[in-house]
Structure 1
Amino acid sequence: MKRSITARLVIMFAAVALATFALAGFALHNVLARELERHQYEELDTTLKSLQFWIKAIGSPERWSRVQARMDALTPEDGSVRFWVLSDDPRFQYGKGLAEIDGLTREANGHTSVVELPGQERPFRTLSVHIDPFEQRPAVRLIVGRNTEPYARTRQAFLSALVAFGLGAVLVVAFAGYWIARVGLRPLERLSKEAQALRPKTLSQRLRAEPLPVELSALAEAFNGALSRLEEAYGQLESFNADVAHELRTPLANLIGSTQVALSRQRSAGEFQEVLQANLEDLERVRSIVNDMLFLARADRGEVATGLVLTPVAQEVRKTIEFFEFVLDETRAQVVIEGDVLAEARLESALFRRAMSNLLQNAIEHSKPGARITVTLREEGAATWITVSNPGAPIDGQHLQHLFDRFYRVDEARNDGGEHHGHGLGLAIVKAVASMHGGQVSASSEGGLNTFGFSVSRTPEKTAG
């Protein structure tokens, strides 16, 4: 199930709002409760002090009736405020249920307590004070009580209003969050529509990053970078397919044409043998192209060289040169090894000789007869470089960086009149072998020498990458 960013944002807005209002409501409710308790205490204390002042001045039973009359006057009809006077002398007592009150209120002077009275739904909050004896009056204890129901109703009403307000505010925040999310995500929707409009034939199109917010701008730029790499890879793929089709078309056309001509009339066994021999050469060419393409495909998938052995590089170079002995004699070319002839590297011999053969073949094909070809070995950091230099026509710098691409040729830049038997994958295979050994490739053209080379790592950590 797909999740909506808008829905998630609305839920988060609502959750944050609910938590915020809940905490604020809890705090306000506690503040109100404390204020109501303080208000009750102040009312009780005011009434208590007023009666205490009167009782202190009363010292005879005759005058005590005035205190009783005053307390009767202060007692409302609903009984929400009550008074009790506790004394050992019954003449100086006041209030209903004195026995129950005497057992419930034992707090110190100035301290309130909450007592449950018979027949009352809500408890009473009481405040008491001890009054010393005076004349005929013994010591008494004055207690003032107030019903907590009005305050409880106030707290309940406040809590109900707070909950209603909080829920309403959460709904408002949720709707506002939905609108904000929709407005905030409009650039992302536009970006999505632009991305959906991309097609293989419109890969050159790029997402507009200028009007986007900073966060989406970085995303758009990263996506444009991926589009650039995809366009380049798609172009290379199209070019590769076209080049493969072109390379295979020629030998296949030769095979079809020669076979059709051979079958057009009666021929002798010798003539058919000549045709088959010519067809075999074209088939060998096709097989070579297919094998090279399969090798490059494996390299593209990240295949690395295995079975690496620490080997003297010069030794492998000499073995490769021996393979070209007949060709060198025919062209009167000479190959010499210079540089760090004692250099060693971790190699897979078969792959190394394949890359070395392609470099030597490339140098021989693009050199005049009798040329001197130089193989230079040098150690540089954790890598060993093998370069092959041959005299030839200068190569323009714009071509050098592409010479290791598949099927890339610069015949017009290297027109030496020689025959070119390659199919444009030789240097690409050199690059693949270098990559499989954790190395790189290089090409230069200066001082009348064209130099191509590759490096291999001397450490297993480099080749594993």
Structure 2
Amino acid sequence: MSGLAAMRGSSIARRLSLMFAAVAVLIFTLVGVALDRVLRTELERQQLNELITKFHLGEQLIEHCENASKWDFVQARLAGLTPGDESTQFWALSADPRFRFGDVEEFAALHPDVPDGFSQLESDAHREPLRSFARTIAAAGERPDVRFIVAIDVSPYLRTQRTFAVALALISALGVALAAMLGHWVARLGLAPLDRLSREAQSLSPQNLAQRLELVPLPRELSELAASFNGALDRLERAYVHLQAFSADVAHELRTPLTNLIGQTEVALAKRRTPQELEDVLQSNLEELDRLRAIINDMLFLARADQGAQAETRAQVSLAEEVGKAVEFMDVVLDEAGMQVHVEGDVRASIETSLFRRAITNLLQNAVQYSQRGAEIRVRIAPQGDGVRIAVANPGAPIAPEYVGRIFERFFRVDPSRGSGGANHGLGLAIVKAVATMHGGTVFAESRDGINTIGFTVAA
């Protein structure tokens, strides 16, 4: 585990060089094993061929010897085939002492029973056992059956195997080291664009939000990565700009009631006031404090929605009934504006009623604020796919296409000169969007033929 952890913490070039080395070890091991098997097989074949060849030479000599007078010639030839280092030895065993060759007594004592074919013979003169081949040659003339044995010293073959194994190990070690070094060099060369990309990324600064990574000289894989990174930078830039605007809007919205509070309080304290005048000042201050509390509560609600809060205490209810309750809550405002609300359609859905009514109330408040006195507001409820669509439509000034998609942004107003006082502080439609998101839905808006339709969907 510690080796894996160290590898995870190392550079990519080092990791790649280690991987190259591991692959080289595997390849050299497989090749070495294969070559060793081939060499062993070939040496084994050569041993057997040498034994068979020498046995056939002696066998032919013995087969052509049918009397004792010719055996001296056979002995001379076998002695000539026996080298001084005794790497090859011959034995001829026979019941007739005249047809024997080699130290028969010693051989018989050491190897009383040598089977036909190939076998191994222990030898005091050699460190390794001798490889032998034995067969009985049938009698001919006055020569009886002769048991003929040929043995060779396998030490040269074993030395060849060991030398090859050592050479192969050294070559493999050198090859692995060379593969690791070349792999490291290739990795560094291949990762050079990544190093450049890293240096560019380190040079990014909040003071230059428009700065992006260069894509042209990069390989395709890194180009895709850099493009994705640039896309993330685009989103961060938009979020940063939006956050700056949001912070400025928050400061502006909070500054107005605070300025009113301070100004009214300073005026009240400028000279002696009657109890009634002080009560009026306190009443006005209370209204401004209520406005501050509403802004703060709405911002806290939106922050909770941004953190992924969901509608929890849901109930299966009639949406038309819930819209009706929101309309009743708005009765006073609607009466003052001389407006009526018509609800069309009904669907039952699982919602958190308090959040749903809050969204409907904000949409109705928005419709009242941006409609002329006596206008008619229509609320349409209809199924849509796996959810429900709730749309609030009212006659009003057309909304420019470039603003339609922005009306749900916080503190955004189509006409900044309107709606800076009273209960409105630019968060109503943002809260509608948050409620829709908490119910697994979305928001929508359209402005067509003098009718503005704004609404949201909830999952059924």
1:387 alignment partner, SS class: strand
Equivalent-residue separation in structure 1 for 2:352 and 2:291 (angstroms): 26
The residue that corresponds to 2:37 in the other structure is 30
Matched, 1:446 2:448: yes
The residue number in structure 1 matching 2:188 is 182
Q: TM-score, normalised by structure 2?
A: 0.94
Does structure 1 retain, via aligned residues, the 8 Å contact 2:88–2:153?
yes
Of 369, 373, 390, which aligns to 1:369?
Answer: 373
Q: What secondary structure is seen at the aligned counterpart in 2 of 1:405? A: coil
Q: 2:251 aligns with which of 230, 245, 250?
A: 245
Alignment-derived partner of residue 3 in structure 2: none
Counterpart among 441, 456, 459 of residue 457 in structure 1 = 459
Correspondence list, 1:102-141, <5 A: 102-107=111-116, 111-141=117-147
Distance 2:421 2:92 in 1: 131
Cα distance in 1 for residues equivalent to 2:41 and 2:321: 95
Q: Shift in Å at residue 235 of structure 1?
A: 1.8
In structure 1, what residue type is equivalent to 2:364?
A: L
Matched, 1:207 2:213: yes
Distance across 2 between alignment mates of 1:327 and 1:73: 132
Question: Within 2, Cα distance between the matches of 1:40 and 1:380?
Answer: 88
Which SS does the other structure have where 1:257 is aligned? helix
2:59 aligned residue: 52
Corresponding residue of 1:463: none
Q: Show the counterpart of 1:299.
A: 305
Q: 1:275 aligns with which of 272, 281, 286?
A: 281
Partner of 1:352: 356
1:146-205, Cα deviation, whole Å (9 max, x unpaired): 111121222221111111111111111111011011111112222222222223333332
More displaced stretch, 420-429 vs 164-173 = 420-429
1:407: how far off? 0.3
Matched-pair contact (CA < 8 Å) for 2:291–2:423: no
Q: Counterpart of 2:224?
A: 218
* CA distance in structure 1 between the partners assigned to 2:61 and 2:373 by the alignment: 138
Separation in 2 of the partners of 1:24 and 1:207?
46
Deviates more, 1:94-103 or 1:144-153: 94-103
Matched residue, 1:150? 156
Cα 1:287–1:418, aligned 2, differ >3 Å: closer, same or farther?
closer
Aligned twin of 1:396: 400
Q: Which amino acid aligns with 1:246?
A: H
AA paired with 1:148? V
- Contact 1:368/1:418, CA 8 A, preserved across alignment: no
CA contact under 8 A between 1:254 and 1:282: conserved in structure 2? yes
Question: Partner residue of 1:411?
Answer: 415
Q: Matched residue pairs, number?
A: 451
TM (normalized to structure 1)? 0.93
- Name which of 6, 9, 15 aligns with 1:8: 15
Judging changes above 3 Å, is the alpha-carbon distance between structure 1 residues 418 and 169 closer, same or farther for their aligned structure 2 residues? closer
- Aligned-pair distance for 1:224? 2.2
> 8 Å contact 2:121–2:132 — kept in the other structure?
yes
Structure-2 residue corresponding to 1:99: 108
> Alpha-carbon deviation of 1:438?
1.3
In structure 2, how many angstroms separate the alpha carbons of the residues matched to 1:140 and 1:81?
Answer: 19
Amino acid at match of 1:288: A
The runs of at least 4 aligned residues of structure 1 exceeding 3 Å deviation read 417-421
Identity of aligned residues (%): 49
Q: Which runs of 5+ in 1 are unaligned?
A: 459-465
RMSD between aligned alpha carbons? Answer: 1.9
* Structure 2 counterpart of 1:163: 169
Could you tell me how far 1:418 is from its partner in structure 2?
11
1:247-290 CA distances to partner (integer Å, 9 max, x unpaired)?
A: 00111111111111211222222221121111111111111100
Distance 1:51 1:274, change over 3 A: same
Structure 1 residues 180 and 100 mapped into 2: Cα distance closer, same or farther (>3 Å)? farther
SS in 1 for 2:139: coil
Quick one: distance in 2 between partners of 1:125 and 1:184? 56
